[in-house]
Amino acid sequence: MDITQLFGLQGKVALITGGSRGIGAMFVEGFLAAGCERIYISARKGPQIAAAVDKFGDRVIGIPGDVSTVEGCKALAAEIAKREDKLDILINNAGAAWGAPFEEFPESGWDKVMDVNVKGPFFLTQALYPLLKAAGTADRPAKVVNVGSIDGLRLNPWDTWSYHASKSSILYLTKRMAARLIKDNIIVTAIAPGAFESDMNRAARDHGDEVAKGIPARRIGTPEDMAAAAIYLCSRAGDYVIGETLTVDGGLVHAALGTSIDA
């Protein structure tokens, strides 16, 4: 077996939403190292995109976009279609969160999070379907990876009501999308990250040592951990993994012991 080919992304074209920072930037860095030919990144804020492109170099192309609306998804897909006749990899990574007590949680916080975290991945994949279908073959299928969260698999202690709902939804939606799109040689999977430094996970970013005490691996995740998961799913190595959610959290969901009360 040729490990370089098994885990390589040579010649591939990818789009990573929310790719200018945080976990999205970890994916970009890993895909570049794996040989990806071109990586498109999108985000709502132009300066963030420009900074990321300056950092990563000319194989990374930035396109401003808002995936919280169907119109925004179609516009982003149209921009990709102007530049490419096929798309090998789509990483639906853009995300939003909102926290407020149950009694006060606003409709705006519900809609914003659900629109970005659930509606966006579905309708962007739909808009890019022709390019993904053009890329996929039985021997080398195209790949769609939805980025969820361990908060879709377990409860956290915070009042992030719509975030919980959205991340649970996207993991199940991944299965349904996978069942449909495999017919067109497009494989859909998901990643459920745990504690990684990002603006969305300020606890891991600002209090990593304390957060690590509650993780079986006794550390928070690194960029290499996150990049490796995506490379596995998007390379030849992951071609027989369909509809699955890869939990990347140091064992918090599946290897942490619960508590009990003695009678």
Q: CB of 35 within 8 A of CB of 63?
A: no
Q: Which of 163, 172, 232, 240 is catalytic?
A: 163
The runs of H, that is alpha helices, within the chain are 3-6, 22-33, 46-56, 70-83, 107-114, 120-135, 161-181, 202-206, 208-212, 223-234
What is the Cβ-side half-sphere exposure of residue 62, based on CA atoms within 13 angstroms? 22
163 as an active site residue: the answer is: yes
Angle between helices 107-114 and 161-181 (to 10 degrees): 30
Q: How far apart are CA 41 and CA 50, in angstroms?
A: 10
* H-helix or E-strand spanning residue 192: strand 186-193
Q: Which residues are catalytic?
A: 163
